[in-house]
Amino acid sequence: MQTNTTPERCSPSWRARALLLLLVALVYGDAAGYGYVNDDFGLIHVTWREALDRSLHSLLFRPVWYLSFALTNSLVQSPLVDHSFNLGLFALAVTLAHELALRRTGSQRAALFVAVGWTLLPWTAFPVVWISQRNDLLMFVFTFAALASADGARPWRSLPLMALGLMSKETVMLVPAAFALRFWRTGQRKLAGGFVLLLAAHLAIQLHHYSHYHTQYEAPHLAKLSVAVRAANAASHWVEPMVTQLVPLPFFTGLPHAALHLLGLALLAASIGRRPDRPPDYDMLLMALLASFPSVITPQLRIVGFESFCWLVFMASFLAPRRKAVFGAALACLGVASLAGVVATKRNFQTPFFEPHSAGRWDDTYYPNRYYSQKREFLLRLLGREADSPRKP
């Protein structure tokens, strides 16, 4: 199996960076004026002490996430500040994503396509416009920075950066295995061992938290499912995002929208071919697969942002346009369809601007996409169970 173990040292163009920052501002800048929604209300009063307490005594071990809210809450409690903080994190994540794509593909054009495509994925919009989903943004920033450091002059920095990514959101819990394999393969055995220990420690912490607190969160309608049904449910959860990342059913606003996206996919398939000068980047393929396993818990696309980035880089590493006119038409169709999905996603979070002392509703069964709520109701009817919601402390 060939793999790119030494990504090229390519300097990002300042024009590309400026274009990406302008794109972020144009597409997401209005989110600074949004208010709070749903579980935002459970975080806007978190103090430093509460951040530590929740990190140690809740189902998910996310201390960096909780501490970020303690930080912003200690400064000023305002949705403008919280949304601006998220926008700044996203701009940094997009910049890092572009730099990584450039290193992995060795092409300025391919890197820009990856960064723009990832920015416009409808599910990438969630952490930008939904304050409580800051965990994804923190995970993006620290994990991307870890990847960049692994390819840099001081690869040891990737270890603490990856640890911070894990403590932001657990969707990258298996990604340290890819770092360990990479460093082992390149003869950096101590660093590989460090990532093995990091992986083991994080899994141990997650198992500890799950064993102590999962009963507070488990949905009653799932409690009595057989082992076979649970296994089938987990398998379907893992497969579904693989399909919906390619054909994003949850984000289509109607048949014309779906038709435009499918047309773009068909044109893309007809216009690209293998790059003769480069093998596929199997490191990114491995990371995409490792990042996909948390989907067995929930198939919602809002948790697969890092996985989607890895898939995009993997494809861009060995594919290139062969028919430029057709390729341009494909990008136009997919770009418009993706932007429509982003706009539809943002619409769910365009709540009025108000201060945190205003009353807010925290709904455990909240789904920002009708697709997932309707699917849940269908499965509940199929199982003959009522739509009981999970419990939160």
Would you say residue 390 has pLDDT above 50?
A: no
Q: What is the mean pLDDT of residues 154-169?
A: 97
Structural domain includes residue 1: no
Would you say residue 2 has pLDDT above 50?
A: no
Element (H, E) at 141: helix 134-150
CA distances (Å), 265 to each of 153, 326, 327, 330, 366, in order?
Answer: 39, 11, 10, 7, 31
CA distances (Å), 204 to each of 61, 209, 303, in order?
Answer: 11, 9, 22
What is the domain count for the chain? 1
**Between 189-213 and 158-166, two packed helices, what is the crossing angle to 10 degrees?**
10
Least confident of 3-7, 150-154, 272-276, 370-374: 3-7
pLDDT in tens, 301-341: 989 999 999 999 999 999 989 989 999 999 999 999 999 99
pLDDT in tens, 85-141: 999 999 999 999 999 999 999 899 999 999 999 999 999 999 999 999 999 999 999
Q: Which two tokens stand for residue 392?
A: 């939160």
Structural domain includes residue 151: yes
Mean pLDDT of the chain: 87
Helix, coil or strand: residue 154: coil
Range of the domain at 126: 14-383
Structural domain includes residue 2: no
Would you say residue 366 has pLDDT above 60?
A: no
Helix, coil or strand: residue 321: strand
Q: Which two tokens stand for residue 382?
A: 């199929």
pLDDT in tens, 249-288: 999 999 999 999 999 999 999 999 998 888 899 999 999 9
Q: What is the mean pLDDT of residues 6-11?
A: 63
Element (H, E) at 273: strand 272-274
Structural domain includes residue 389: no
Q: How far apart are CA 200 and CA 197, in angstroms?
A: 5
